[in-house]
Amino acid sequence: MKRLPAEWEPQDAVLICWPHEKTNWAPYLNEAEAVLMDIAEAITRFEKLIVVVPDKGCVHTKLAARGVNMKNIALYEIESNDIWARDFGPITIYENNKPVLLDFTFNGWGKKHKAGLDNQITTKLYAAGAFGKTPLHTVDLILEGGSIESDGQGTLLTTAECLLNPNRNKHLDKKQLEARLTSELAVRKFLWLENGCLAGDDTDAHIDTLARFCPDNTIIYVQCSDPADEHFPAFQALENELKNFRTLENKPYRLLPLPWPKAKFDADGKRLPATYANFLIINGAVLVPTYNDPSDFQALETVGKAFPNREIIGIDCSTLILQHGSLHCVTMQIPKGVL
């Protein structure tokens, strides 16, 4: 009996990876570190944090000076290309109620960016004992954690633009890929979104930028309500797709729309992928990305409707979107029993 848990199920820890001067974060390294410290401070109030770092002593000093709960921190010195732990971190399944870590191949979102070091991080963490005695299986398939959403009951929500992109597993057609994912992740039902992609997104429309499973057959999703915005047609179509999706019991989902932040641009005038859907669910709380935007409060309120019994914590991720990702992208939950 195999199962891919939902993110809101109990966790042992969260994995993050620290930025350094050899990454694209070099021009705003202090700002990026500040965001990671905000995330670390919030997570360690509730659970453990595994941190991949370039220099143990340096990062330990910074986190301790910030007042982070160091009892809940484990630092591992491992080389990295970047900080997107969601996409190179292990995906955990349960087999007969016992956790098993799956290490899929990470190719830098279709070879857009260097990822050789990041692709080895899970293996190196495992060798260093970061995951206790939980077994690790290497899977010969390109798959990023940000590209799939699980309801914990066998339904997988994903996007055709990412998973069927020839820059991932071009040797597999849709039917063959579904067969592989059914085998590896025990998928009983696939929900494929055909529409929606944020300008400035490097991932080919990761689901965690667009729509997310929440408890009680709820899907929270990005809604574009501005007809003048370039995203409007695609996100109207995405909304209609979600309305037609059905649960395993053949019932419609409860849909909660997230607000649309004002367009954000980098110094060169290129649009950045600001999305409130990129939140992280942890034990007792949900961390929601904010962008110094008038819609921030409404976004926190909406996520609160999906998680009425958890603390909703806003984290300013204006710096993270400069490298085209956000809060969920830099984290990977480690489910209960792994450690």
Give the residue numbers marked as catalytic: 329
The alpha carbon of 137 is separated from its chain's Cα centroid by a whole number of angstroms, namely 21
Angle between the 29-43 and 56-66 helix axes, to the nearest 10 degrees?
60
CA distances, 225 to each of 186, 205, 230, 235 (Å): 36, 19, 11, 9
List, in order, residues 6 or more apart from 267 with CB less than 8 Å away.
Answer: none
Under 8 Å between Cβ of 92 and 99: yes
The backbone torsions φ and ψ at residue 305, rounded to the nearest 5 degrees and listed phi first, read -65, -35
Strand pairing category for 2-3 and 91-95: antiparallel
Under 8 Å between Cβ of 48 and 85: no
Dist CA 173 CA 318 (whole Å): 37
